[in-house]
């Protein structure tokens, strides 16, 4: 997921959506096993679902931040 997000090339949005959903599902499964729902309280995890629209509007994530 991170390699697709940080690429400068136009991503395969279907693949990226699948990878984001797999990541969030894995977080949920981990939380259920450990009894710690830490990730559900963090907005950044849910914001991943909006990334595809943001990439389409603003371009690659890699170029969003300039040091």
Q: Each residue of 3-42: pLDDT tens digit?
A: 888 887 888 999 999 999 999 999 889 888 988 877 777 7
**On the CB side of 7, how many CA atoms lie within 13 Å of its CA?**
11
Q: Map out the domains of the chain as residue ranges.
A: 2-63
pLDDT over threshold 60, residue 64? yes
pTM: 0.79
Largest CA distance in the chain: 39
Q: What is the mean pLDDT of residues 37-63?
A: 85
């Amino acid at each position: 997921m991170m390699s697709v997000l940080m690429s400068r090339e136009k991503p395969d949005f279907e693949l990226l959506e699948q990878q984001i959903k797999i990541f969030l599902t894995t977080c949920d499964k981990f939380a259920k096993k450990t009894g710690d729902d830490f990730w559900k309280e963090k907005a950044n995890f849910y914001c991943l679902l909006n990334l595809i629209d943001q990439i389409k509007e603003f371009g690659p994530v890699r170029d969003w931040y300039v040091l």
